[in-house]
């Protein structure tokens, strides 16, 4: 009989609570982009991306390890990832090209880094080129559209950076897992990278300029964030061995200790040492804060997959799970039309512009993501069944 927190589909199991966790993570990012200036708590919404990273590493590593002896394992993995990620992502870029004659985008060849999944490095590669260093995070409409709206209008694409990081990881990690294969060796690789990552990031703070660090260099690059993905991978590997019982027994201790250590680190850095704090661009957060946040995310995942926990039951609520199913589309769409949502709120509901902007952005992005999932993503996702050996299987709890 299936545990309450696990759903069976054609004898393949997955944790239902993880859909709810995706919903929570994407809402955190949404609030970061639309309400960070309104409340201190919302300013931490960027940590939702860390939840996505750890969750991706957890799921992908489990898939890779379980399928390492299957024929056509490389083909199946990359085909399933392609069917899941590419259609929506490249549909956006196709739409950008189609509306280009009207929008008159102010762009050049450098923006091609985004469709190539290297856009997360764009703001750092061209600092020597005069202009706004953050211009690669948005496409600016030309004078025709700006005249219509009587203000500059942009299509925000900067949040695609996390998709770039994950795609770069997906290209490399299968080579490691399928080559090394043994669980014990893979655990050592994950643990070694996780321990080395803070030292590596610390070294970068000595090498790079304050400007580059202030532009979130440590936050947005795959080599500096790979430990987040491998923390998830480490959890997946341990759940497939004798460490499973230990993980479940100490999962709440992991949650509590990582949270307490981060709070203490924050108090020491900000209140005692009076170090500057700039969210994800803060040096001390970039060096070791990311690790603590990612360990907390790993604790959340372990709690979410435990069927008997209240957290798992909460995340398994139908509404959260439904939102989690379309979370990829919601993430992609939510910030694209930021200027349009803000314009409509200020144009027609000025006294309540902030609240209306958030409301329009949430329901507008949700509606677009829901439609996109039904019309574009879901029909294509059905093709993944042709590569069924790459389905994620939940280890018995």
Element (H, E) at 15: strand 12-15
Q: Mean pLDDT over all residues of the chain?
A: 91
The per-residue pLDDT for 3 is 41
Lowest mean pLDDT among 27-31, 37-41, 135-139, 285-289: 37-41
Return the number of other C-beta atoms located less than 10 Å from residue 133's C-beta.
Answer: 17
For residue 152, the tally of other CB atoms under 10 A from its CB is: 13
Contacts of 6 (CB under 8 A, 6+ apart): 13, 14, 15, 16, 307, 394, 397
Tell me how far apart the alpha carbons of residues 387 and 75 are, in angstroms, rounded to a whole number.
9
Tens of pLDDT, residue by residue over 137-179, are 999 999 999 889 988 999 999 999 999 999 999 999 999 999 9
What confidence score (pLDDT) does residue 393 get?
A: 58
Q: What is residue 388's predicted lDDT score, i.e. its pLDDT?
A: 57
Q: Which residue in this structure is represented by tokens 């080395």?
A: 196
Q: pLDDT class for 15, splitting at 50, 70, 90?
A: confident
In degrees, rounded to 5, the angle at the alpha carbon of residue 370 between the alpha carbons of residues 368 and 371 is 65
Rounded to an integer, the average pLDDT of 283-307 is 95
Confidence of residue 39 (pLDDT cuts 50, 70, 90): confident
What pLDDT shows up at residue 291?
97
Count of beta carbons in the 10 Å neighbourhood of residue 278 = 11
Question: Could you tell me the pLDDT band of residue 2, with boundaries at 50, 70 and 90?
Answer: very low
Specify the pLDDT at position 130: 87
CA distance 148 to 296: 47
Mean pLDDT of 52-78: 93
**Pairing verdict, β 6-9 and 12-15:** antiparallel
Which burial class, exposed, middle or buried, applies to 285 when counting CB atoms under 10 A from its CB (0-12, 13-18, 19+)?
buried
**What's residue 395's pLDDT?**
58
Report the pLDDT value the prediction gives residue 4, as an integer from 0 to 100.
Answer: 40
Q: Is residue 66 pLDDT above 80, yes or no? A: yes
Q: Structure pTM?
A: 0.93
């Amino acid at each position: 009989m299936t545990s309450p927190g696990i759903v069976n589909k054609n004898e393949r199991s997955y944790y239902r609570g993880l859909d709810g966790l995706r919903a929570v993570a994407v809402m955190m990012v949404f609030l970061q982009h639309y309400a960070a200036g309104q409340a201190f708590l919302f300013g931490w919404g960027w940590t939702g991306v860390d939840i996505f990273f750890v969750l991706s590493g957890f799921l992908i590593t489990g898939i890779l390890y379980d399928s390492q002896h299957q024929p056509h394992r490389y083909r199946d993995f990359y085909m399933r990832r392609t069917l899941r990620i590419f259609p929506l992502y490249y549909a956006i870029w196709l739409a950008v090209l189609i509306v280009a004659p009207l929008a008159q985008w102010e762009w050049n060849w450098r923006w091609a880094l985004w469709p190539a999944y290297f856009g997360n490095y764009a703001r750092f590669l061209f600092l020597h080129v005069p202009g706004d260093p953050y211009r690669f995070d948005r496409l600016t409409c030309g004078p025709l559209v700006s005249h219509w709206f009587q203000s500059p209008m942009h299509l925000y694409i900067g949040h695609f950076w996390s998709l770039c990081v994950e795609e770069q990881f997906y290209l490399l990690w299968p080579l490691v897992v399928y080559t090394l294969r043994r669980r014990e060796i893979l655990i050592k690789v994950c643990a070694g990278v996780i321990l080395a990552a803070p030292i590596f990031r610390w070294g970068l703070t000595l090498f790079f300029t304050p400007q580059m660090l202030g532009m979130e260099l440590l936050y947005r690059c795959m080599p500096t964030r790979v430990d987040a993905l491998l923390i998830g991978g480490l959890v997946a590997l341990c759940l497939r061995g004798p460490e499973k019982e230990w993980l479940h027994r100490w999962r709440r201790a992991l949650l509590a200790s990582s949270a307490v250590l981060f709070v203490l680190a924050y108090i020491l850095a900000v209140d005692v040492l009076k170090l500057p704090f700039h969210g994800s661009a803060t040096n001390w957060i970039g060096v070791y804060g990311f690790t603590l946040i990612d360990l907390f995310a790993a604790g959340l995942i372990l709690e979410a997959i435990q069927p008997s926990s209240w957290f798992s039951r909460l995340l398994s609520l139908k509404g959260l799970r439904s939102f989690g199913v379309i979370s990829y589309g919601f993430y992609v769409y939510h910030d694209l039309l930021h200027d349009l949502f803000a314009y409509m709120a200020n144009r027609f509901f000025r006294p309540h512009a902030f609240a209306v902007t958030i409301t329009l952005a949430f329901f507008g992005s949700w509606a677009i993501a829901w439609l996109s999932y039904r019309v574009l993503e879901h029909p294509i996702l059905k093709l993944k069944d042709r590569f069924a050996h790459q389905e994620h299987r939940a280890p018995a709890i």
